[in-house]
Amino acid sequence: MIYGFNVTKNYALDFGFLYQLRNFKDGISFFKLVLNLDLYKADHNPQIRFALVIFNFIIFDIVLYNKRHYDSYM
């Protein structure tokens, strides 16, 4: 399940939990822990992500991100 809501005018929070990432016949993600802060100027940045994947299942995935698209014509 994935849920999301607006935190401010420019930022949103999405979180998902307990859903399958891919089938086991396609490969196995045994364990993956993600803690990422992305400040690079691009679409939906800056953003921060915290996620945990065990045996192809996303246990939780929390993302706080900028809702706006980067204007590359500066």
What's the predicted TM-score (pTM) here? Answer: 0.80
- For the stretch 8-27, pLDDT in tens is 999 999 999 999 989 999 99
Tally of CB atoms within 10 A around 65: 20
- For the stretch 18-54, pLDDT in tens is 999 899 999 999 999 999 999 988 888 899 999 999 9
- Report the side by side order of strands in the sheet with 2-6: 2-6, 11-20, 57-66, 47-54, 31-38
Distance (Å, whole) CA 71 – CA 58: 32
